[in-house]
Amino acid sequence: MRTSYHEELDSILDRLVHMAELVEVAIREGAESLLTADLTRAESVISNDVQLDKMHEEMEYKCLSLLALQAPVAGELRIIVSAIRVVFELARMGDLAVHVAKIARLRYPNQAVPARFEDSFREMAAIAIEIVRLARVSLQERDAKGAEQLVAIDERMDLLRREQFTMLLGDNSDISIEGAVDVALLGRYFERFADHAVAVGRRVIYIITGQVPEGEDWPNA
């Protein structure tokens, strides 16, 4: 019975890794649809989000069932409680990829990103892909050190966001209202995507070390 229980714990972590892989694909395809006005890619991201939502529900149910039926302690409890949070973060990242794809679809056949912001959003997309990849690998390999790197990567995303606002509000800005709204929303989506990835990394650290990462104020979970 206990062996089966520990196998279930391992399967939870494996499913989280798989979900992170799907999120990585979603943000990559969503960003590409945005930067190339690719309607097919945008529609694919939007339709595939159903799979992520289903995984979210299944994982949450499985974790709550284990809490109710197995009375987990110590490291087991950390895994289950943290998994509930991680699956939420991953689902939100999937939702953000959908938001990006929907703006790409809305502006099709035009490219949603104004030309002067294209380099900035290409870098944001690259950071988003890298940060979810690192979150996935740190979870897969139980690598707390790797997870700690996420904060530094997130800082670059925040800097790009500030630079975009400087460009939007500059005296020589000639961007349309529609374009300004798109830039503001898209920048927020990418910024939040990175924030959720950092939250995943912090939970990975907690699972591995049992220590709440510096700067976090959590209850005992």
Query: Distance between CA atoms of 75 and 26, rounded to whole angstroms?
Result: 31
Domain boundaries, the chain: 2-209
Contact 59, 86 (CB under 8 A): no
Of the ranges 95-99, 123-127, 141-145, 155-159, which one carries the lowest mean pLDDT score?
Answer: 141-145
Quick one: pLDDT band at residue 88, thresholds 50, 70, 90?
Answer: very high
Query: Distance between CA atoms of 175 and 169, rounded to whole angstroms?
Result: 10
Which residues are within 8 A (CB) of 142 and not within 5 positions of it... i.e. 6 or more apart?
204, 207, 208
On the question of pLDDT at 219 being above 50, the answer is no
Contact 150, 173 (CB under 8 A): no
**Segment 164-186, tens digit of pLDDT:** 999 888 767 778 888 899 999 99
**Segment 36-60, tens digit of pLDDT:** 999 999 999 999 999 999 999 999 9
Better pLDDT: 9 or 194: 194
Q: Does the pTM exceed 0.85?
A: yes
Q: State the fold for domain 2-209.
A: Methane Monooxygenase Hydroxylase; Chain G, domain 1 (1.20.58)
CA angle, 63 then 67 then 71, to 5°:
145
